[in-house]
Structure 1
Amino acid sequence: MLNNIGLPGLLLIAVVVLVLFGRGKISSLMGEVGKGITAFKKGVREETEEAAKSLESARDVTPEETGRQKDEA
């Protein structure tokens, strides 16, 4: 259904949205969308950093061998 929408269709949709909501409302809406995208990126970055820290701490959980343990083995 959406495969057949070309440039004229997109322009028509943009004009209808502009008429329905007005320029000021669209501007504030786009500002909110931008804030949402920024918050999403920040959340993803924080989660990635947290996962990296968790992975680093889980990487080395086995105790190191001491000289005495090597002799006993």
Structure 2
Amino acid sequence: MLNNIGPAGLLLIAIVVLVLFGRGKIASLMGEVGKGITAFKRGVKDQAEEIENASTTAPDDGSRARDVTPRAERDNA
């Protein structure tokens, strides 16, 4: 269905949206979308750095994950 819209149809949709919401409301909405995208990218970057830092420094305080599989099952595997 979207393949049949064409440039004229997209222009018509843009005009209808502009008339319904107004230029100011659309501009503020796009600003909020931009802020959301920026915050998402920052969160992904921070999380990747945290994972990288955690993988390079292994804690020696016994807080690392350990195998708790029963010995019989571990030996059969």
TM-score interval, normalised by the smaller of the two chains? 0.7 to 0.9
Does the alignment pair 1:57 with 2:52? no
The runs of 5 or more residues in structure 1 that have no matched partner are: 62-73
Query: What is the percent sequence identity of the aligned residues?
Result: 71
Kindly report structure 1 stretches of 4+ aligned residues shifted beyond 3 Å. Answer: none
The runs of 5 or more residues in structure 2 that have no matched partner are: 61-77
Structure having the higher helix fraction is: 1
Question: Superposition pairs for residues 1-73 of structure 1, below 5 Å?
Answer: 1-58=1-58
Query: Following TM superposition, by how much is the alpha carbon of 1:47 offset from its aligned partner in structure 2, in angstroms?
Result: 0.7
Question: What CA RMSD, in Å, does the superposition of the two structures yield over aligned residues?
Answer: 1.4
Q: Which has the higher contact order (CA 8 A, sep 6+)?
A: 1
**TM-score scaled by length of structure 2:** 0.69
Aligned residues: 59
AA matched with 2:42: K
Relative to structure 1, the CA distance from residue 55 to residue 24 in structure 2 (aligned partners, 3 Å threshold; closer, same or farther) is same
